[in-house]
Chains A and B, each alone.
Chain A
């Protein structure tokens, strides 16, 4: 705990101070989640609509998800070197299974009556997607984003190994200098960050579910 309480470690001009590392960590997680969503949401909608695609896509992402984070990172080092791509690619790959599966499940879980009503009201494809499908699917999609974010925050620790900083720096430099106080400090901040995002996204999930009739929650 001493490490976290020492004001020296909050000097903003120091690149390796706790707030700066936290920001670095958040920017890695943020970038990865953004790219993940851009890939996974359309894919999820696609496999929900074209069922035969579901199994191959889920099997492929499932196999990729099985490969340990450190190993995937290691495979990329010879290719992309010590760049931010080396950490962001594995992070994006890891989120795909959860995000695609949840998006597809969310869309498939919508009461078929509701899109029917939308169509009967004369909505076109785009309106159906933006005003019916996505709003109804959102709580389940957010649930997937929640799991993916928590996992990403944890694995982003490895960014330190490829020179991209983040809170993993506290852990890995701590291990090398035998400074366990620093290691524990890193672990605590990462765990708190993960729990914070878990609860925040859970709050959003609950808020989105509120006010929905029994019909749409089903």
Chain B
């Protein structure tokens, strides 16, 4: 434990720099993935053909191993922070896109009809009916995607993006347990924090009347 502390405070290891690089990489890719995923999800929800393509491409992405994807784009994007950012964003999009799409499609048309029958305007229908029903489902997608991005960002060290993965890889190659743990512990903690916070967000976003169903 003491050695671990020594490793972290040793300036030559640049622990702070790698921490910032890691968190920055994760945060920026998740935010980009959310924006692109939600916009694409809304865009394809009106067009069955586009939706078919999007859903199947997303399914196919799941079959391709993350590390394979990360290194397969390497010859085209090169090494460094930006390629890692692009790769992570692309990996983060499918769960969000799928959930946005299924969330929108899953709204019972009768609910919208009822709202219209009550005299709601189109804007009210969007803000008071559709958004509250879709947001928790999107949040679930963001949760899946965020945890996946945080996990994959470790592997991004392979393509020279820095971060905690650097310690894990060099620790594995040098069989240095201290270095391995210095990389692995914060990654595991970050993933768990993201999971807990986002599942809480998902719960908060769920309209009170629907909450009992979501527990199952």
User: Which one of B111-119, B165-173, B203-211 contacts A?
Assistant: B165-173
Q: Bound complex: CA of A71 vs CA of B195, how far in Å?
A: 16
B151 to chain A: which residues have CB within 8 Å? 68-71
A71–B64 touching, CB < 8 Å: no
B68–A190 touching, CB < 8 Å: yes
B82 in contact (CB, < 8 A): no
Interface of B is mostly: helix
A191 to chain B: which residues have CB within 8 Å? 63-65, 68-69, 72
B181 in contact (CB, < 8 A): yes
Smallest CB separation, B25 vs chain A (Å): 14
Q: Bound complex: CA of A174 vs CA of B62, how far in Å?
A: 24
| 10 interchain residue pairs of minimum CB distance | A154-B65, A68-B151, A74-B184, A187-B68, A71-B184, A187-B72, A78-B177, A71-B187, A74-B180, A70-B154
B191–A188 touching, CB < 8 Å: no
Smallest CB separation, A76 vs chain B (Å): 10
B169 to chain A: which residues have CB within 8 Å? 161
Pairs across A and B, CB under 8 Å, 16 listed: A66-B195, A68-B152, A70-B151, A70-B168, A70-B184, A71-B187, A77-B172, A78-B181, A150-B63, A154-B66, A155-B65, A171-B71, A175-B158, A183-B74, A186-B68, A191-B64
A180 in contact (CB, < 8 A): yes
Task: Indicate which residue in B68, B150, B165, B188 contacts A154 across the interface (CB closer than 8 Å).
Answer: B68
A180 to chain B: which residues have CB within 8 Å? 74-75
A23 to chain B: which residues have CB within 8 Å? none
Q: Bound complex: CA of A198 vs CA of B69, how far in Å?
A: 17
A157 in contact (CB, < 8 A): yes
Interface size, B (range): 35 or more
Number of interface residues of A (CB under 8 A): 37
A187–B168 touching, CB < 8 Å: no
Task: Indicate which residue in A67, A68, A74, A150 contacts B181 across the interface (CB closer than 8 Å).
Answer: A74
A67 to chain B: which residues have CB within 8 Å? 188, 191-192
B96 in contact (CB, < 8 A): no
A63 in contact (CB, < 8 A): yes
Chain A, 160-197, contact with B by CB distance < 8 Å: what is the 0/1 string? 01100000100100110000100110111011001100
Q: Bound complex: CA of A162 vs CA of B168, how far in Å?
A: 12
B63–A198 touching, CB < 8 Å: yes
Chain B, 110-154, contact with A by CB distance < 8 Å: what is the 0/1 string? 000000000000000000000000000000000000010011101
Chain A, 52-94, contact with B by CB distance < 8 Å: what is the 0/1 string? 0000000000110011111110110110001000000000000
B54 in contact (CB, < 8 A): no
Q: Which residues between 44 and 67 of chain B lie within 8 Å of chain A, taking CB atoms?
A: 60, 62-67
A47 in contact (CB, < 8 A): no
Q: Which residues between 12 and 33 of chain B lie within 8 Å of chain A, taking CB atoms?
A: none
Smallest CB separation, A159 vs chain B (Å): 11
Residue of A nearest to B70 (CB): A187
B165 to chain A: which residues have CB within 8 Å? 70
B60 to chain A: which residues have CB within 8 Å? 195
B172–A74 touching, CB < 8 Å: yes
